[in-house]
Structure 1
Amino acid sequence: MSLSPRPWLIALGLLTALRLLAALLLPPAPDEAYYWVWGRALALSYYDHPPMVALWTAAGSALGGDTAFGLRLLGPIGVALASILIARTGNGLFPGSGAGYWAAALLNGTLLFSAGSVLMTPDTPLLVFWCAALWAWVQVHLRQDGWWWLAFGVLAGCALLSKYTAVFLGFAVVLWLVIEPGARHWFRDWRLWMGGLLALLVFSPVLVWNAEHDWISLAKQGGRAGNVGTASSLRYLGELVGGQLGLATPIIFVLCVAGIVVACRRAGRRDAVATLLALVTLPPALIFLWQATGSRVQGNWPAILYPSACLAAAGYLGPRWQGWRKWGVVLGLGLTLVVLVQGIFSPLPLPRRSDPTLARLGGWHDFAAEIEQIRRSRNASFVAAEEYGLASELALHLPRGTPVIALGDRWDLFDLPEPPLDGQGLLVRSTRRGEAAPLWPEAAPGGEVARQRKGIEAERYRLYDVSLSDDGLTRVLLPQRR
């Protein structure tokens, strides 16, 4: 069964409209609120990630306001463009088969790509630029036109400017140029080297920022992997595989694995296209598996594997897989709809441990309103928080005119103003941080409050009465909604 362009484009348009609607209705997650702060304090880079997510958040907020819809605006639009590029890539690699449309459909059927693109995280621009760079690389191969290396360099640089894992894309290109006999001639073409230089130039702000900050971000990301030398490695591996079965959805995960297995077999028979797809997918997959032997691999990290894996699944799996492709897309989009409906309307009264949408998204608006009411009743002049996500959520939700103070060492790296050294305030601290004393000295306990959605508790917080003083702690004033 093949897909034709017109129905496919209509389906993509409807899916994009659904994502934009979900972006409007879903409350922002703590990490999204944190990236909104980034967008209001633009810098060459940041402790956690490169700056692309901040640029997207700032641009979206400028167009759509300091709202959940504004900070997410570019995500669904970018993912729609990436879907078109994946379709064009697949149709170019497997002409006449409609494989590109199926590859894009499978990719949009994964929760990582479909529901994940509603939220604004570094993975969203990473996947968009990853798909675009992969498309440019395929144009080099199909057209044998070295000018496409320049486009690849810029797009790969933008992917690196989104997240450090984009380095796997450059690694795959180098391996392909070395392994594939028909590609080695590019080493003699100056445009290949110019593409690499352009990628480095696009990424250079991150290098400049790291050089100015003792390479703190690169050191953090480079030090994530480790070997604990205990049986926990089996648990981490199980979490990784189980997480991918869920986030890719089971059928699409199996299709992707089967497609890459076929691609690897064909690569052994000197198939340049199969070699390309295998090299984009297999090395990072092996790195993630190795890392899981010593530390936890977050479920979103392997998202970069799926564009090429979906291309292989659509292009190499024969007619007997057609039914599985259809049901994989149906199941994936159905699960996406269930997740979005639960996150927006919460029809199922699930507890926190069974509902990640409750834990991350639930009840922020009402919670902030309650905090503001308590602040006023205590005549506090500001609200403060130690957790960066909580502080960012409060800054995004509290009324304009209510100062929000964040404290912690990470804020040293932001160009944000320090608060004045006087005034009484209200410190909000999650009970999940345990019984340890707050960072804020002389914090006087002042009760508890819960964040809830439809009466189901998402998280509980302790309140403290605090005062500002010159005690050496890093404190910054977070931006307010415009």
Structure 2
Amino acid sequence: MQTEIGSGRETRTETVALIGIALAVMLIHLLTNGRYGFHRDEFQFLSDARHLDWGFVAYPPFTPFVERVGLQLFGVSMVGLRLFSVIAQALAIVVTGLMARELGGGRLAQVTAALAVATSGLPVFEGTEFQYSSFDYLWWVLIAYCVIRLLKTEDPRWWIGIGVFVGVGLMTKYTILFFITGILGGMVLSSARRYLASGWFWGGVAVALVIFAPNFLWQARHGFISADFLRHIHARDVRLGRANGFLKDQFVICANLATAPIWIAGVIHFLRNERYRMLGWMYLIPFALFLVGKGRGYYLAAAYPMLLAMGAVVWERRVAGLTRVWRRVVLGVGFAAMAAYGVFIYAVIVPLAADGPLKQFALKNNGDLREELGWKEMVGLVAGIRDSLPAEQRSNVGVFTANYGEQGALEILGPAYGLPMPISRTNSAWLRGYPTVPPTTLIVLGFSKATAEKMFTDCRPVGRVDNPEGVENEERGGSVFVCGPPRLPWPEFWKEYQAYG
């Protein structure tokens, strides 16, 4: 009886430690997430959140739906809207520690695994912005947890939980298909293949398909437009070199660099362990697919928590076999290295400082932070140009944007200036079309002079986009034009100039 009570107390202490780590990370994000501005990707989610549907060109509907809830609760608040991403990453930290516990790890293993995720590049980034990858990361982690419970308990009912998170994952980001391939391949290549004959497995498959069905039907009605979008974006990323450095990114972005020996040990021990071998293949199969298919380095980041959990268990057992002196040395060096890399990651990714050298360091090394600057100024510039137009032009003026960041920023921030709904040919904005009564005067931004003149009549430059920090980003230096209508009739123009981005 004493053993059970002691064990229960120890478990509670471990859980409190995991929650404490997660809350500390949450606090850092909540204190810093209002420092700069919205990222261009966040403006796309905000725009789509105002036009809810069962699907969007660039992604499934889950993230815009959550963003819509955030708009209802918090309005246009960076800290409020990003809260859901912060919660998702906090949960991923806790669940990673719980995976280590399920694999036989004690307090050291659980805390090590949780800290490893809390100080890794991609999960830290996911707490700074509202991105579909924030939730995608959590679903991968929860699926891995359910698989560990399935293999540990041999209770096939865990397939229902797996099916739920697979279904929600499919409603969040389509790259989870690679993880699903890893799950199925891991089953076939391990003793878990016996579950192929289980009704619970097929029940989990049915649950996933039912959850995903509304988006699948939306895709069918729209000619599977997202498949065309993904082909285009992948080709663009490969052409621009964004898929380069995949192997390096596994060490420096997907996981804390100092934990490389831990997660590598996790892969090896999963593959050597007959019970848990399926999880080793759940990593290796997506890894191989992304490597051969030239996926971007961060696509695989969500597979590392399960490896860190197993690796932390292995590390705990190895350390336990050392003498007291060597144990302290190994633990001291290990945690110091993890902390040092974690401090570097937070300094680069999180807007820790409102000004000064630390802010300049972050802006220099983090392109995503640079993309958060200048949006209010851009909207103000457009409003000023609108106000400078003659009355007859102001009466029927529209704003035409080149990308979803501009379109989203003008849709979300423009009403404060009385600006009309922007017109965009990019992604789901193209599906929503152009005004029933098209404008006769257009403020056009985001295009080169040659492109603007090719698309529209009577273009003249009237301004240039900048940001108060003077940092280089995608918008800075872009010209703004006042133009007449498109050279083609609007219906033909709309078909000719559809764009993905």
The one-letter amino acid of 2:367's match is P
Give me the whole-angstrom Cα distance separating, in 2, the residues matched to 1:131 and 1:355.
Answer: 26
- 1:354 Cα shift? 4.8
Choose which of 302, 310, 333 in structure 1 pairs with 2:342: 333
- Matched residue, 1:480: none
- 1:177 Cα shift? 2.6
- Matched residue, 1:175: 185
Give me the whole-angstrom Cα distance separating, in 1, the residues matched to 2:91 and 2:363.
Answer: 35
- 1:17 Cα shift? 1.9
- Matched residue, 1:279: 281
Give the unaligned 5+ runs of structure 1: 476-482
Deviations along 1:167-216, one digit per CA (max 9) or x if unpaired, are 233223323332332x3442332111100110111111221111111122
Deviations along 1:200-239, one digit per CA (max 9) or x if unpaired, are 111112211111111221344367667x9xxx99x77752
Counterpart contact for 2:120–2:256, Cα < 8 Å: no
Query: Is 1:408 aligned to residue 425 of structure 2?
Result: yes
- 1:19 Cα shift? 1.4
- Matched residue, 1:303: 301
Instruction: Report the CA distance shift for 1:169/1:299 in structure 2 as closer, same or farther (over 3 A).
Output: closer
The one-letter amino acid of 1:306's match is Y
Counterpart contact for 1:384–1:404, Cα < 8 Å: no
Counterpart contact for 1:237–1:289, Cα < 8 Å: no
- Matched residue, 1:462: 479
- Matched residue, 2:8: none
Counterpart contact for 1:159–1:166, Cα < 8 Å: yes
Counterpart contact for 1:277–1:312, Cα < 8 Å: no
Query: Is 1:437 aligned to residue 452 of structure 2?
Result: yes
- 1:443 Cα shift? 4.7
The one-letter amino acid of 2:435's match is E
- Matched residue, 1:378: 389
Counterpart contact for 1:47–1:413, Cα < 8 Å: no
Instruction: Report the CA distance shift for 1:100/1:438 in structure 2 as closer, same or farther (over 3 A).
Output: farther
Q: Secondary structure at the match of 2:460?
A: strand
- Matched ranges for 1:256-405 at <5 A: 258-263=264-269, 267=271, 269-273=272-276, 275-292=277-294, 297-317=295-315, 318-319=318-319, 322-323=331-332, 325-340=334-349, 342=351, 345-348=354-357, 349=360, 354-357=365-368, 359-379=370-390, 380=394, 381-400=397-416, 401-405=418-422
Query: Is 1:43 aligned to residue 45 of structure 2?
Result: no
The one-letter amino acid of 1:88's match is L
Give me the whole-angstrom Cα distance separating, in 2, the residues matched to 1:343 and 1:357.
Answer: 14
Counterpart contact for 1:249–1:332, Cα < 8 Å: no
**Of 254-263 and 454-463, the range deviating more from structure 2:** 254-263
The one-letter amino acid of 1:397's match is L
Deviations along 1:130-177, one digit per CA (max 9) or x if unpaired, are 112222222222222222211110111111111112123322332333
Counterpart contact for 1:154–1:198, Cα < 8 Å: yes
Give me the whole-angstrom Cα distance separating, in 2, the residues matched to 1:429 and 1:121.
Answer: 23
Give the unaligned 5+ runs of structure 2: 1-10, 320-326, 496-501
Greater fraction helix: 2
- Matched residue, 2:149: 139
Choose which of 190, 193, 205 in structure 2 pairs with 1:196: 205
**Of 112-121 and 439-448, the range deviating more from structure 2:** 439-448
- 1:423 Cα shift? 4.2
Q: Secondary structure at the match of 2:438?
A: coil
**Of 40-49 and 322-331, the range deviating more from structure 2:** 322-331
Counterpart contact for 1:343–1:358, Cα < 8 Å: no
Choose which of 474, 479, 482 in structure 1 pairs with 2:494: 474
Instruction: Report the CA distance shift for 1:413/1:455 in structure 2 as closer, same or farther (over 3 A).
Output: closer
Give me the whole-angstrom Cα distance separating, in 2, the residues matched to 1:57 and 1:369.
Answer: 24
- Matched residue, 1:86: 96
- Matched residue, 2:245: 239
Q: How many residues align?
A: 459
Instruction: Report the CA distance shift for 1:122/1:316 in structure 2 as closer, same or farther (over 3 A).
Output: same
Counterpart contact for 1:24–1:69, Cα < 8 Å: yes
Give me the whole-angstrom Cα distance separating, in 1, the residues matched to 2:114 and 2:344.
Answer: 17
Counterpart contact for 1:255–1:325, Cα < 8 Å: no
Give me the whole-angstrom Cα distance separating, in 2, the residues matched to 1:378 and 1:135.
Answer: 59
Counterpart contact for 1:82–1:128, Cα < 8 Å: yes
Instruction: Report the CA distance shift for 1:137/1:258 in structure 2 as closer, same or farther (over 3 A).
Output: closer
Q: Secondary structure at the match of 1:164?
A: coil
Give me the whole-angstrom Cα distance separating, in 2, the residues matched to 1:62 and 1:22.
Answer: 22
The one-letter amino acid of 2:386's match is R
RMSD of the alignment, in Å? Answer: 3.2
Counterpart contact for 1:386–1:406, Cα < 8 Å: no
Give me the whole-angstrom Cα distance separating, in 2, the residues matched to 1:40 and 1:463.
Answer: 26
Q: Secondary structure at the match of 1:333?
A: helix
- Matched residue, 1:428: 445
Q: Secondary structure at the match of 2:427?
A: helix
TM-score normalised according to structure 2 size: 0.81
The one-letter amino acid of 1:373's match is G
Instruction: Report the CA distance shift for 1:325/1:350 in structure 2 as closer, same or farther (over 3 A).
Output: closer
Instruction: Report the CA distance shift for 1:242/1:189 in structure 2 as closer, same or farther (over 3 A).
Output: closer
Identity %: 18
Give me the whole-angstrom Cα distance separating, in 2, the residues matched to 1:325 and 1:351.
Answer: 26
Deviations along 1:420-471, one digit per CA (max 9) or x if unpaired, are 223433211255xx84335641151223323223344541121111245753
